[in-house]
Amino acid sequence: MSDAIIIDGKAIADGYLSKIKEEVSRLPTRPCLAMVLVGDNPASLLYVRYKKKYAEDLGITSFLYMLPTETKEEELIHLVEDLNNNPQVDGILVQLPLPDHISEFKIISTIRPDKDVDGFTKENIGLLALKQDCLVPCTPLGCIKLLKSVKDDISGLNAVVIGRSNIVGRPLAQLLLNENCTVTLSHSHTQNLPDLCLSADILAVAVGKPGLVKGNWIKPGAIVLDVGISYLPDKSIKGDVDFEEAIKVAQAITPVPKGVGPMTKAMLMHNTVKAYKRRRNFIEDKK
Ligand code: NAP
pLDDT tens digit string along 22-78? 999 999 999 999 999 999 999 999 999 999 999 999 999 999 999 999 999 999 999
C-beta 10 within 6 A of ligand 1: no
Strand order in the sheet with 32-38: 61-67, 32-38, 91-94
224 φ, ψ to 5°?
-115, 125
The reply to whether 82 falls in a domain is: yes
Q: Which helix H or strand E contains 240, and what residues bound it?
A: none
Ligand 1 center to 209 CA (angstroms)? 8
275 lies in some domain? no
Residue 52, domain CATH? 3.40.50.10860
The Å distance, Cα 193 to ligand 1 centre, comes to: 15
Of ligand 1's atoms, which has the minimum distance to the CA of residue 187? Answer: 21
- pLDDT tens, position by position, 248-260: 999 999 999 999 9
Type of residue found at 208: G
Determine the structural domain holding residue 224 and report its residue range. Answer: 137-261
pLDDT band at 281 (very low <50, low <70, confident <90, very high): confident
Q: Are residues 79 and 145 in the same domain?
A: no
Say whether both 58 and 164 belong to one domain.
Answer: no
Euclidean distance between CA atoms 278 and 200, whole angstroms: 36
Question: 98 with 143, same domain?
Answer: no
Q: Are 201 and 159 within 8 A, CB to CB? A: yes
In the chain, the number of structural domains is 2
Asked whether residue 180 carries a pLDDT value surpassing 90, the answer given is yes
pTM: 0.96
Report the pLDDT value the prediction gives residue 12, as an integer from 0 to 100. 98
pLDDT at residue 84, rounded to an integer: 98
Would the pLDDT of 287 be above 90? no
Residue 286, pLDDT > 90, answer no
Instruction: From 170, 193, 227, give the residue whose CB has the most ligand 1 atoms within 8 Å, as the site to mutate.
Output: 227
Binding site membership of 95 for ligand 1 (Cβ less than 6 Å): no
Q: What positions carry a catalytic annotation?
A: 51, 95, 118
Measured in Å, residue 190 CA sits from the centre of ligand 1 at: 14
Residues 107 and 143 grouped into a single domain: no
For residue 169 and ligand 1, the question of a CB distance below 6 A is answered with yes
Please tell me whether residues 178 and 250 are part of one structural domain. Answer: yes
Best residue among 143, 165, 170 to mutate for probing ligand 1's pocket (most ligand atoms within 8 Å of CB) is 165
The answer to whether the beta carbons of residues 70 and 40 sit under 8 Å apart is: no
- The chain-wide mean pLDDT, for the chain, equals 96
Residue 147 has a pLDDT of 98
Span 246-273, average pLDDT: 98
223 plus 256 within the same structural domain: yes
Would you state the pLDDT for residue 49?
95
Residue 161 near ligand 1, beta carbon < 6 Å: no
Is residue 175 pLDDT above 70, yes or no? yes
Same domain, 66 and 170: no
CA–centroid distance, residue 203 to ligand 1 (Å): 14
**pLDDT bucket at 111, cuts 50 / 70 / 90:** very high
Instruction: Evaluate the CA torsion angle 12, 4, 215, 158 in order and state its sign.
Output: positive
Does 272 map to a domain?
no
- The answer, yes or no, to whether any atom of ligand 1 lies below 6 A from the CB of 266, is no
Q: What is the pLDDT of residues 138-167, one digit of tens each?
A: 999 999 999 999 999 999 999 999 999 999
**Cβ atoms of 108 and 76 closer than 8 Å:** no
- Amino acid 2: pLDDT: 72
How would you class 123 by CB atoms within 10 Å of its CB: exposed for 0-12, middle for 13-18, buried for 19 or more? middle
**What is the C-alpha end-to-end distance of the chain, expressed in Å?**
34
CATH number at residue 193: 3.40.50.720
Kindly state whether residue 37 falls inside one of the protein's structural domains.
yes
User: What is the C-alpha separation between 48 and 70, in angstroms, rounded?
Assistant: 19
Contacts of 248 (CB under 8 A, 6+ apart): 1, 3, 4, 215
Instruction: Evaluate if residue 284 carries a pLDDT over 90.
Output: no
